[in-house]
Amino acid sequence: MSTVTPAMRQYLEAKRQHPDALVFFRMGDFYEMFYEDAVVAARALDLALTSRSKDADGTGIPMCGVPFHAADGYIAKLVNKGFRVAICEQVEDPKKAKGLVKREVVRVVSPGTLTDSNYLDARVPSFLMAIVPPPRAATQAGDAPLAPPLHAAGPFGVALVDLSTGEFRAAEYEGRPGLQALADELSLLRPREVLVPASSAVTADLPEVAALGLAVTTAEASTFDLRAAERGLHEQFRVHSLDGFGLRAHDAATRAAGGLLHHLRVTQKADLQHVRTLTFRSTADALRIDAVTCRHLELVTGSEGKTEGSLLHELDRTSSAMGGRLLRAWILRPLIELERVRERLDAVEEFAFKTPERARVRECLGSLHDIERLLGQVVLGYETGLVRPGWMD
């Protein structure tokens, strides 16, 4: 650190804080990358790799960059390839700065936190899933920690958020059947990213994570501390109790939800005001469909792996992206409670015999933009793209 320029010290500090991300370092009208980040990004983005001033050993420092105003496309391309990108922006007015302009990481973009609708499938949710394994067995004096089969030590806590819309839900899965149900959920929902505690064996117990090619991010185990999770959820929803969200006696789900929320606050550095509620989902509130059945019935994908030829493709006459995502969710989680089935059928019947009214509603819905995702971008402060505007813009 003592042998590099002040600007490079800022870059290296940002890299130290985010070692698992490619650091986009704002310098004038460009985002620059250096050292190994530059080598990796140049290969992934087909950029020219150059070098700047030499390091202490006299070796040129690898460097590549992208124009600021075209950064969104490059960031999205990296994220869709599974990379994480830490955006290091100027955070003070250069005219008022004394010496070097202060720079800080203002957002970490990852597969599960990509929110720009220009780079997402409008009719498919973009989920980030947190999976918290059961506590390990107590350590005996002088012995290494004992790690019995995770499915025998308690429930897995799972939380799921679509940051682009604010959808937030949690669940628990216990025992061998629960572990299989969680594996099926992974195959059906295909989250863009999975968050797990560091040094946990989640990916070993759920080989579907690797088989599906899901991006995995680790967080410190303390992120999922129960008391901290409860405090975070209380603050987010401005409540004194989580009973109203169905989390009473569901500590595992609470840990996953609170840890996921904390992770988002740290990486997005923004108020998550559009995440207004949490739904606890019991495995008994809908018909569980395993991945093999879903594939054989071609519920949401056809025989060639595309939407065409699937049940969803045949049924989807929705007029908005929001309706398309909702219909997809309904197909994947069919109702089993008779009363809720009747309520839905009554709603369908209400419209079925009112053709003029139905046409007017469809026309109205068809003129709507994707309000859910637009609201998410505005709340997060990225209404113009992936990058929050800085002092240079």
DSSP secondary structure string for all residues of 321-355: HHHHHHHHHHHHS-B--HHHHHHHHHHHHHHHT-H
pLDDT tens sequence across 5-50: 888 899 999 999 999 999 999 998 999 999 999 999 999 999 999 9
- 92 or 65, which is more confident: 65
pLDDT of residue 140: 40
Could you tell me the pLDDT band of residue 137, with boundaries at 50, 70 and 90?
Answer: very low
Q: Lowest mean pLDDT of 1-5, 87-91, 369-373, name the range.
A: 1-5
pLDDT tens sequence across 267-315: 999 889 999 999 999 877 788 898 899 999 999 999 888 899 999 999 9
Domains in the chain, ordered, with CATH? 6-109 (3.40.1170.10), 128-284 (3.30.420.110), 291-374 (1.10.1420.10)
pLDDT score of 390 more than 90:
no
pLDDT of residue 45: 96
115 and 377 in contact (C-beta within 8 Å)? yes
pLDDT of residue 57: 62
Could you tell me the pLDDT band of residue 146, with boundaries at 50, 70 and 90?
Answer: very low
pLDDT of residue 117: 86
pLDDT tens sequence across 223-258: 999 999 999 999 999 999 999 999 999 999 999 999
In Å, the largest CA–CA distance within the chain is 79
pLDDT tens sequence across 80-122: 999 999 999 988 877 787 888 899 999 999 999 999 888 999 9
DSSP 150: G
252 and 151 in contact (C-beta within 8 Å)? no
Q: What is the DSSP string of 50-88?
A: EEEEE-TTSPEEEEEEEEGGGHHHHHHHHHHTT--EEEE
Q: Lowest mean pLDDT of 94-103, 325-334, 356-365, name the range.
A: 94-103
C-alpha dist (Å) from residue 95 to 11, 102, 172, 391 = 21, 12, 53, 10
Nearest to 127 by CA among 281, 264, 265: 264
Rg, Å, the chain Cα set: 23
pLDDT score of 392 more than 50:
no
pLDDT of residue 100: 87
Could you tell me the pLDDT band of residue 387, with boundaries at 50, 70 and 90?
Answer: low
pLDDT score of 152 more than 60:
no
Sheet holding 128-132, edge to edge: 215-219, 193-197, 128-132, 156-162, 167-173, 279-280
